[in-house]
Structures are given as C-alpha cells and as structure tokens.
Amino acid sequence: MDKIVAEIGETILGELCPRMAAPVVEAAPPLNRRQVAQLIDHTLLRPGAAAVEIRRLCSEAREHGFYSVCVNPARVGLCVGELQGSGVVVCTVAGFPLGASATETKLAEAETALRLGATEVDMVVNVGALKDGEYERVRAEIAALAAICHGSGALLKVILETCLLTDEEKATGCRLSVEAGADFVKTSTGFSTGGATAADVALMRATVGPDVGVKASGGIRTLDDLRAMVEAGASRIGASASVAMVQAIAGDPRHV
C-alpha cells in the first residue's frame, strides 16, 4: 500500500510540477557483433598496400561480416573477385585524398571503378572551392558524381575533410551534398591533420537530418570510439582496426 501511495504521489507531482519531474531517458540497446560489423567499411587505403594485404582485408571482411571493404580504385577489380558471392560491398574513393583533382578526373575514376564492380564511391569534396565560397561549383561537382553513381545503382559519399573546415563550412558542405543528391556525408580521409570527432558527427547529423547517411572515418580504433560515433549520429564507420573492434565485443558487458 505504501508503494502504491508513493507512486500516486509521484504521478501527481509530475503533473503539477513538470519541470521537477525526472525525465525518462531510454538507453540505446546494445549492439551485437553482427550489428557492429555491418556498420563498418573495412578500410585499407595506404598507398603501399600489397595485393596480399588486400586479399587479407577481403578475407577478414568475409569472416566477420563487415558491410564493405574500402580500397583505392586500382584494387577494386581484385576485391570484386575476392568477394564474389560474399555479400560484402566494394567501396572505393575518388579525388582521394586531397579533393583537388579536376571534376573530370573524379568522374573518370568513379566511372572506371563502377564498371569494375564497385557499388559505393567516397569522393573528396573540393575543399578549396568550399572555403572560397564557390558553392555552385561544389554542388555541381557532387551532383555529377551522384548522377554517375546512381545511374549504376551505387551510392555516393562526400568526404568533407572536417579538420580543415570551420563549423559553418562543415554545415554548408553538408547542405550542398544533400542538395546535390549525395547518399552520405563523411568526416575525413584519415590522411589530413585530423580525423572524426563526435562533435563533428553530431553537427553533420543535425544538418543532414535522418534520411542521409553520416560516415565517421579517421582515427576510429576502439569499440569505445565506434560507440561514441554511433551515439553522435553516425550510420557508417570507416576503420582499419575493424577486426579488433568486433573481437572486443565478447568482453564488453555493454554489448551482447
């Protein structure tokens, strides 16, 4: 009876003084190993990576069920052959890592990779043009890449290289990407002065809304790093330490 009275009192107090009533916060459900693996683009973009390393990347992606492998354009054909029938997607890059290539060069890279079997392209935005305020040039370039990708049934992600941008420039880059038809915005190449941060992911998610993907990439090495990015709004993770992250789940009570 005392418990019932107490519960009634708490209900009345919440109705009379809503600001005093404690908010109900539902914790996000833990991710299992398969769910974590399906967030990950298993990445090897180091220019000196040998074929044996690319094959190992593909083998790990098969074994652990990663969403994709992300490799340089010259390795797309090898990965498509290695991953045939596995369900693992082949992702590649265009204008990587500087974004300073001519639009025609980025288009040629994307077209070749798509013809070889890539189904996702991560292009680097023209960072200088974005900082110069040449917004129509930036939008047009993204739109041209999006058209080629979508015409082949592929997805386009736009790498903003957030470490080189102000918050205003990051938000503008996100808006231009959405207007141009990109499927994702992405934080970083991992080859500049910094990588993904939870603050940048949150800003990007707030800007693009719920219907466009946000990929966090660069410096994500641990399961805690991955959790922080997902909690901030990331829907895809680019990482090279992918195997260590999924293996860490077994000993982490926050996951099942």
Active site residue ranges: 122, 186, 215
In eight-state DSSP terms, residue 13 is: H
Show the beta-strand stretches assigned E in the chain: 40-44, 68-71, 89-94, 120-124, 155-159, 184-186, 213-217, 236-239
Q: What are phi and psi of 55, to 5 degrees?
A: -65, -40
Q: Determine contact, residues 203/167, Cβ cutoff 8 Å.
A: yes
Cα 135 from Cα 161, distance rounded (Å): 16
Tokens of 133: 């305020």
Are 146 and 121 in contact by the 8 Å Cβ rule? The answer is no
The first and second tokens of residue 114, run together, are 């798509």
